Amino acid sequence: MSCNQTRLWFDAQVRPNRSLSPQGLRRLLLATGIGGFVAGLALLASGQWIAAGFLWLDLALLAFALLASTAKLRAVEHVRIDDSVISIIRETPGRPREAVGLPAAWTRVVRVPHRQVEGLEAIQLTASGRTITIAAALAPWERPSFADALEDALARRRVGLRQPA
């Protein structure tokens, strides 16, 4: 290994869990749209045009909410540990890329326990007076294993830097 190369001790991508595939979303929107349109026509035929209008407004709001939540699912967070830096890079569509670096030698992993369910409310990295919350897209019961892997990588890094390459 040359002098300017650094070893990569940890490399993970955290993405929000997608409960509905894009095809499933299209099917859901199509089914609710067709059903709502037919129900609205039946309401119009019976003279209840106000109810039909509110039904169609509800369908439009449902579609907007589902499409907006799907857009947030394209966010990704990269967490990497090399010989000197822990880098956190957050990429969200429509927003500027956010990159933060913390010195790997001085960074601590802090586990914030969850009060209501088993697991962690948050995983935080602290160093030099800065605290950064990571892996927020994971479920509370998934965060402990991520924190374990992160702490293990930091420990391997400390031992690995003491030994000659």
117-159 pLDDT, tens per residue?
Answer: 888 999 999 998 899 999 999 989 999 999 999 999 999 998 8
Question: What is the domain partition of the chain in residue ranges?
Answer: 8-16+75-162, 22-72
pLDDT at 4 over 80: no
- Torsion-angle region of residue 135: left (phi > 0), alpha (psi -120 to 50) or beta? left
Domain range 8-16+75-162, its CATH number among 2.60.120.620, 3.40.50.10470, 2.30.29.30, 3.40.50.1820: 2.30.29.30
What's the pLDDT tens digit per position in 74-102?
889 999 999 899 999 999 888 899 999 99
Own/partner pairs, 23-26, CB within 8 angstroms, 24+ separation: 25/66, 25/67, 25/70
Going by pLDDT thresholds of 50, 70 and 90, the confidence category of residue 165 is low
Whole-number Å distance between alpha carbons of 83 and 103:
9
Pairing of strands 108-113, 98-103: unpaired
Own/partner pairs, 113-121, CB within 8 angstroms, 24+ separation: 114/140, 117/141, 119/143, 119/144, 120/144, 120/147
The single-letter code of the amino acid at 57 is L
The continuous run of DSSP H or E covering 14 comes out as strand 8-14
Whole-number Å distance between alpha carbons of 109 and 107:
7
**With contact defined as beta carbons under 8 Å apart, do 130 and 102 qualify?**
yes
